[in-house]
Amino acid sequence: MKRRNAGWWFAAPALAVIVVFFVAPVLAGFAMSLTDFDIYALADLSNLRVVYLRNYVELLQRPLFWKALANTLYFVGVGVPLSLALSLGAALLLHSPLARFQPFFRTALFAPVVTTVVAVAVIWRYLFATRNGFLNYALGAFGIPPIDWLGDPHFAMPAIIVFAVWKNFGYNMIILLAGLQNIPRDLYESARIDGASAFDRFRYVTLPMLSPLLTIVAILTVAGYFQLFAEPYVMTQGGPLQSTVSVLYFMYEEGFKWWNLGNASAVAFLLFLLIFAVTLVQMRQARRAGAMW
């Protein structure tokens, strides 16, 4: 009897922390998403109405929510593959026996991850400047006319993607580099003896050996990129024409700018469900491919 409960007692402190700091706020947030909590309710709780799923129904009818969702999917759909490819490419280059000054490059490529987004945003705003930004100067060398990166609704999201990918790829690069260094060298050796070309060795040795790690990295990156917020917040404030409003940015405005906490909680829940669903699909695919348990 006692012995059977012992495990629970050992886990209790951790469980208590999880309940207090995770489960309870999530449940409270869900409860709030079923109400129309706003400044009137803050003034007097009798002004609070339980609206059940109306926040959700109305959200699904709001063009801006769909726009935010489309912007976020665009960001995830383009940003994640780009970020993974860049991380993997950089990791392969660093791992190459030909690479010189490896510690220096590793640090340099990792540096954007640890710098604050606000500080680098200032620099990137200069790079993206229409009239004398470096990016347009470089494109001008190829005869491409200047692009209004942050002011044109068509180019603002690509600009945000470039910025975010640059800012974040170093993190995955370090993880993948560690994975590469763990692949036994004899596998490459025997592949070479069997006559495999460099591409074959990458395709049939590196990728399969790296795939569990790649799956983890992909899942984390997707979940992270769905939560796009800081980049548009500091670069474009959601503009031009709301082309860089992400779901999280939308939620921030609903919650903290307009103080519609009921609505904001509903957005948070929808985003949670979305990330959860995408992660489930990813895990199922990975399992089918044998990359994970």
Which 72-131 residues touch other proteins, going by CB under 8 A? 125, 129-130
Look at the block and give the residue holding tokens 């490819």: 85
Residue 128: CB minimum distance to other proteins, A: 10
Shortest Å, Cβ 48 to other proteins:
10
Q: Which of residues 4-43 bind other proteins (CB under 8 A)?
A: 36, 38-40, 42-43
- In whole angstroms, how close is the CB of 39 to other proteins at the nearest point? 6
Give the chain's end-to-end CA distance (angstroms, integer): 34
Residue with tokens 């082309």: 243
Rounded Cα gap, residues 243 and 68, in angstroms: 8
Q: Which is nearer to other proteins, 69 or 109 (CB)?
A: 69
Letters for 126-155 (x = contact with other proteins by CB under 8 A, - = none) are ---xx-----------------x-xx-x--
- Phi, psi (5° rounding) for residue 240? -70, 145
Q: Which residues contact 233 (CB under 8 A, 6 or more apart)?
A: 249, 252
Applying CB under 8 A, which of residues 47, 107, 190, 285 lies at the interface with other proteins? 47
Give the burial string for 2-20 (b: 16+ CB within 10 Å, else e): eeeeeeeeeeeeeeeeeee
Q: Which is nearer to other proteins, 42 or 280 (CB)?
A: 42
Question: What's the half-sphere exposure (Cβ side, CA atoms, 13 Å) at 87?
Answer: 31
Considering only residues 230 to 259 of the shown chain, the ones binding other proteins according to CB under 8 A are 236-237, 239-242, 256, 258-259
List phi, psi (to 5°) of 143.
80, 15
* Closest separation in Å from C-beta 236 to other proteins: 7
Shortest CB 132 distance to other proteins, Å: 10
CA 195 to chain CA centroid, nearest Å: 40
Q: Which is nearer to other proteins, 153 or 290 (CB)?
A: 153
Nearest-10 Cα torsion for 108, 110, 113, 117: 10
Binding flag, residue 168, other proteins (CB under 8 A): no
**Least separation, in Å, of the C-beta of 37 and other proteins?**
11
Residues that bind other proteins (CB under 8 A): 36, 38-40, 42-44, 47, 49, 58, 125, 129-130, 148, 150-151, 153, 236-237, 239-242, 256, 258-259
